[in-house]
Chain A
Amino acid sequence: MRHRLRDPVTGLLFVLPMLVLFLIFRIFPTLGAAGMSLTNWNIGGEWSFIGADNYTRLVNDPNFWSSLRATMVYTVIYVPLVMAVSLGTALLLNSIVFLRGLFRGMLFLPYVTSFVFAGIIWRWIYEFDGLINGVLAKLDLGPVAFMERAELVLPALALVSCWKGFGYSMLILLAGLKAIPGSYLEAAKVDGAGPWQRFRGITLPLLKPALFFVLVIETIASFQVFDTIYVMTGGGPAKASYTLIYGIFERGFRFWEFGYAATWGMVLFAVVLVVSLIQRRFVGKENT
């Protein structure tokens, strides 16, 4: 205790490398994003302060609204899908003992690969002469152009992200399930509660914190989808998969409108902030 009080300099010195990295590459760009969104900054580095013009432009930009809509639709498809798959597989894994490790490993495997990798593999799976259409052809069913039909492209992309990522949520939920005392379930069983009643009455309420954590991280992840879209659709067809991040990327690095791209970034920030704050509020309540 004594030496800590005596020696404030070493503490600072140890934090310094990370602190410097932080100030330059996290804090400064965060403040910079807010500032930049009020300018017409372009590729030449010339800029002038234009106040809220970018924000006015944003609300009048049909591209922005369609991208927000695409992002929301994607989230509404992806989040329930990944929650259902990760909860289902976690429950399955939790009710077996023999070969549990093997199954857990196989289900988790895609998680360690990249979204670019997943995008390439699945582009081939969805291709006109790809895996799914090959199977459909065997069944004498017509080919489906997954990547060319506006109403199919977001569900198809959500499926890819679910395939690649559900293992992580599955593990979090599995840890939550393991933490539920078996005696509770036994007692309920003795009292004559069926499997469904035990799930509703005991497992689900006790799993709530883990479920909520997974819900929040998957919601945030779904707002940040980009790699698979870049690889698989390029925002198409007809902007059906043109999401917020794709908008930031294209505004910034195709049209080189840095100021306006930063404005799109602020919207993403706001959305993620709201989701995080809701999480903090609810998790806080869970803990008290």
Chain B
Amino acid sequence: MTMTATRPAATRVRQGATPRRHGTRWALYALLAVMSLLTLGPFIAMVIVALSPRGEPTVPVQWPDSLTFDNIMQVLNASGFVEWTLNSLIYSAVSVVIILLTASMAGYAFAKKRFPGRDTMLWTFLATMMVPFQATLIPLYVLVSDFGGADTFWGLIVPTLANSQAVFLMRQFILGLPDELFDAAKVDGASELRVYWTIVVPLTKPILATLGVFVFLWHWNDFLWPLVISQSDATRTLTVGLTVLKTEELQWSMLMSSAAISAVPCLLVFFLLQRYLVNSIAMTGLK
């Protein structure tokens, strides 16, 4: 994770403000419009296919004579779909809450506390970021399933909570908080839990919100771990469920409807928090 510094908005140089020929300006916008169309095209095509009556030709993309919600309704009524969605919600929401809590606690301790082994621990946390999750997939699966975690919610959720990136982000942010705040609270006789809850948590709210959004997206979109650990509809998440749908003989209109529904929470998060998400990536390098 790198800290890519952005210049404050006030000193930002508006390079576009330098005089330029109109032709160049139009060319830039035309290029951007083409790029945006290529980026949005698949979404638009998906929505059209999802809303078209079945059997109606949709290729190449043409607006159908009539739109229908039949496909969407049928997907929602299909066995498993609602259950998978709920499972994804549980997987994401529980992970967000626990990671925010544990990572901010650890981040606070790493930033503002001294205890034996602190730097070794921090260094180890950092080092594990270099180990790809997939390289440890097999032992992790054996470990979790040996403890009866296969096809359970704890088996799905708990192993994904060890998130070093979250710890580092919190530590970096809390390092920047002034020591005097914590000293003053201590002089006033506040307990450590109280300091954490009344100083650390409120002051880290912006970064907690950012991290929360990212953890939600990571878990909602996660695939490989749910694929190996969930074996039935009871714990199957939406991403895994979609690939189960794929294998059955399904019409594209149905599959597109399922895909569209699965993306709704991500797109909602995006539309509500776009500016926020975008700025936080630039500033913190959160992936």
- Tell me the A residues contacting B by CB distance below 8 Å: 1, 3-5, 7-15, 17-19, 21-22, 24-30, 32-33, 35-36, 41, 45, 89, 92-99, 101, 103-110, 112-117, 120-122, 124-125, 127, 129-131, 133-135, 137-138, 163, 168, 171-172, 174-176, 178-179, 181-183, 185-186, 189, 209-210, 213, 217, 220, 223-224, 226-227, 230-231, 245, 248-249, 252-253, 258, 261-262, 265-266, 268-269, 272-273, 276, 283
B211 contacts chain A at the CB level, 8 A cutoff: no
Question: How many contacts A-B (CB < 8 Å)?
Answer: 314
Cβ of B223 and Cβ of A227 under 8 Å apart? yes
User: CA of A93 to CA of B141 in the docked complex: distance in angstroms?
Assistant: 44
Chain A nearest CB from B119 CB (Å) reads 12
8 smallest A-B Cβ distances: which pairs? A182-B13, A11-B113, A32-B139, A114-B221, A11-B115, A134-B59, A134-B60, A175-B282
> In the complex, A27 Cα to B13 Cα: how many Å?
46
A269, B132: Cβ atoms closer than 8 Å: yes
Q: Which of B90-111 contact A (CB under 8 A)?
A: 101-103, 105-106, 108-110
Q: Is the CB of B4 within 8 A of A175?
A: yes
Q: How far is the CA of A1 from the CA of B130 in the complex (A)?
A: 33
Most buried by B among A9, A115, A175: A175
Besides A112-B267, A121-B256, 11 other A-B contacts (C-beta < 8 A): A11-B118, A18-B105, A18-B106, A24-B162, A33-B135, A120-B255, A121-B42, A121-B46, A131-B45, A163-B38, A220-B132
**Per-residue 0/1 for B257-285: is the Cβ within 8 Å of any A Cβ (1 yes, 0 no)?**
01100110011011000110110011101
Asked whether B137 lies within 8 Å of A248 as measured between CB atoms, the reply is yes
Q: Smallest CB–CB gap between B220 and chain A, Å?
A: 7
Chain B residues with CB under 8 Å of chain A are 2, 4-7, 12-18, 25, 28-29, 31-32, 35-36, 38-40, 42-43, 45-46, 49, 59-61, 101-103, 105-106, 108-110, 112-116, 118, 121, 124-125, 128, 130-132, 134-143, 146, 158-159, 161-162, 164, 167, 179, 182-183, 186, 192, 196, 217, 220-224, 227-228, 239, 242-243, 246, 252, 255-256, 258-259, 262-263, 266-267, 269-270, 274-275, 277-278, 281-283, 285, 287
- Chain A residues, Cβ within 8 Å of B224: 226-227, 245, 249
User: Are A230 and B6 in contact, CB atoms less than 8 angstroms apart?
Assistant: no
- Could you write out 19 A-B pairs with CB less than 8 Å apart? A3-B183, A9-B115, A12-B115, A14-B192, A17-B101, A22-B125, A45-B142, A45-B146, A95-B15, A95-B16, A96-B29, A103-B36, A107-B35, A107-B39, A171-B282, A175-B4, A220-B132, A258-B138, A265-B134
Expressed in whole angstroms, the Cα–Cα distance for A272 and B136 within the complex equals 13
Beta-carbon nearest neighbor of A165 in chain B: B287
Task: Write the chain B residue with the least CB distance to A179.
Answer: B7
Which residues of B lie under 8 Å from residue A114 when comparing CB positions? Answer: 220-223, 239, 262-263, 266
In the complex, A12 Cα to B45 Cα: how many Å?
A: 53
A258 closest partner in B (C-beta): B138
Complex CA–CA separation, A245 to B133 (angstroms) = 10
Query: Given contacts A4-B112, A181-B13, is CB(A245)–CB(B275) below 8 Å?
Result: no
Q: Are B132 and A26 in contact (CB under 8 A)?
A: no
What residues on B are CB-neighbors of A10 within 8 Å? 109, 113, 115, 192
Name B160's closest neighbour in chain A (CB-CB).
Answer: A25
